[in-house]
Amino acid sequence: MGRRSMRVFSLFCGIAVVSLLRVSVMGQAPAADQGPVAEQVFKNITVLRGLPVDQFMGTMGFYASATGLNCTDCHTSESGGDWAKYADDTPLKQQARRMQVMMQTLNKTNFGGRQVVTCYTCHRGISRPLVMPSLDALYGEPPPDEPGDPFVQAQGQPSADQVLDKYIAAIGGAQRIAGITSLVAKGTYIGFDDADKVPIELYARAPGQRAFIVHGSLGNTTTTFDGRAGWIQAPPTDKPVPLYQITGQELEGVKFEAELMFPARLKQSLTNLRVGLPLYLGEREVQPVQGNTSGGGTVTMNFDTETGLLARLVRYGESPVGRLVTRVDYDDYRDVNGVKMPFRWTVRWLSGRSTYDMSSIQANVAVDAARFAKPQ
């Protein structure tokens, strides 16, 4: 995504970028427990109807990253300080609606309804798609592969069980891992283009509950997952609606990330596990292991072939505009009760990037169940 759009967006949204828009997915009509849909919450929705609010905001991140346009390019410049102004129409917003309809028609009439053409297919991060092939691109360095696309088990590669067993052994072994039942961590958080790092607290409980509290300058942003449902609450200036529910395949991705903190049952967390060909993340050779979440989301774990440690997680869910992808890079592994854990993780998604740096992680400290409940 163009830096420009990120900058304006994060200026407006400040710390809420932490996860407000780390949202996504859909495909089906939302279940009754997914909260209100976009047209019930927003004023002027004509084409993206039937989407839970988090997924609707995910599509906005996709629009911005696919076209290289800022939120306030398609919306009015006044919307940069007032969520109500996002309802006003502009020529670019109206064109985007026509494009959404055109794209759906293209997929339906030419590709049997499969979502193969997205905004990104034509736009590639710029508002006016190129008409002519670029000679510089033709003779320049090819862009790096985007890991995370679906693959099948590659021939001659180890089985998923072998790669995952190597990982479990590399971080300390099944027994030590099973001995950790809760985590309490402190550290700092910084969003894309934020001026300052701010404090963050993390709480987690096995097998898969997790809560983050980011203490931003505008107030706290709290993201919780209680094992079944997830929520995001951000300061009033940062959110179009008071409290988001995390839904669909994004929720399953969040569930997986929470379970990954206690990886004793890692093999059971995904289905249809397969191993792809090794690839390079920079200098580092990794082996990708891919699986599916219960609702069909795709998760790819990339393990360092030398150390066996998890280097990168890529997960996405489907949405009416395309795959809404989230990538987490793990670094700075240190020992906690005999288990190696990453103290730094960098999260990138279509509407922002955040870096979490932990200064302390304590294991087996009592954590109140209320920490993971829906924020009040």
Least Cβ distance, residue 328 to ligand HEC (angstroms): 20
d(CA 47, CA 338): 52
Least Cβ distance, residue 278 to ligand HEC (angstroms): 33
Contact 258, 236 (CB under 8 A): no
Q: Which is nearer to ligand HEC, 63 or 345 (CB)?
A: 63
Q: Which is nearer to ligand HEC, 191 or 240 (CB)?
A: 240
Count of residues engaged in binding ligand HEC, rule: CB under 6 A? 38
Taking the CA atoms of residue 32, residue 232, residue 312 and residue 167 in that order, the dihedral angle to the nearest 10 degrees is -80
Q: Does 51 participate in binding ligand HEC (rule CB under 6 A)? A: no
Distant-in-sequence, close-in-space partners of 290: CB < 8 Å, separation ≥ 6: 150, 151, 273, 274, 275, 276, 298, 299, 300, 301
Near ligand HEC by CB under 6 A: residue from 18, 23, 26, 60 = 60
Q: Does 364 participate in binding ligand HEC (rule CB under 6 A)? A: no
Contact region with ligand HEC (CB under 6 A), list: 39-47, 156-164, 169-177, 332-340: 39-47
| Residue in this structure with the two tokens 């039942």, named with its chain if needed | 181
* Span between the terminal Cα atoms of the chain, in Å: 34
Least Cβ distance, residue 118 to ligand HEC (angstroms): 6
Looking at residue 115, its amino acid is: Q
Q: Which is nearer to ligand HEC, 216 or 276 (CB)?
A: 216
Q: Which is nearer to ligand HEC, 48 or 301 (CB)?
A: 48
**Residues 216-245 within binding reach of ligand HEC (CB under 6 A):** 240
Q: Does 265 participate in binding ligand HEC (rule CB under 6 A)? A: no
Q: Which is nearer to ligand HEC, 56 or 256 (CB)?
A: 56
d(CA 184, CA 358): 10
**Residues 70-129 within binding reach of ligand HEC (CB under 6 A):** 71, 74-75, 86-87, 92-93, 95-97, 99-100, 103, 117, 119, 121-123, 127-129
d(CA 309, CA 341): 9
Q: Which is nearer to ligand HEC, 205 or 239 (CB)?
A: 239
Residue of 46, 50, 76, 71 lying closest to 60 (CA atoms): 71
Query: Which positions from 337 to 356 touch ligand HEC by CB under 6 A, shown as an x/- string?
Result: --------------x-----
CB-count burial class (<10 Å; 0-12, 13-18, 19+) for 61: buried
CB-count burial class (<10 Å; 0-12, 13-18, 19+) for 51: buried
Q: Count CA atoms within 13 Å of residue 54 on its CB side.
A: 28
Contact region with ligand HEC (CB under 6 A), list: 55-63, 168-176, 252-260, 262-270: 55-63
Q: Does 48 participate in binding ligand HEC (rule CB under 6 A)? A: yes
**Residues 267-326 within binding reach of ligand HEC (CB under 6 A):** 321
Q: Does 330 participate in binding ligand HEC (rule CB under 6 A)? A: no
Near ligand HEC by CB under 6 A: residue from 34, 67, 247, 319 = 67
Looking at residue 28, its amino acid is: Q
d(CA 361, CA 195): 25
| Residue in this structure with the two tokens 């009033």, named with its chain if needed | 236
Q: Count CA atoms within 13 Å of residue 260 on its CB side.
A: 22
d(CA 286, CA 24): 27
Q: Which is nearer to ligand HEC, 160 or 347 (CB)?
A: 347
Contact residues for ligand HEC, defined by CB under 6 A: 9, 42-48, 60-61, 63-64, 67, 69, 71, 74-75, 86-87, 92-93, 95-97, 99-100, 103, 117, 119, 121-123, 127-129, 240, 321, 351
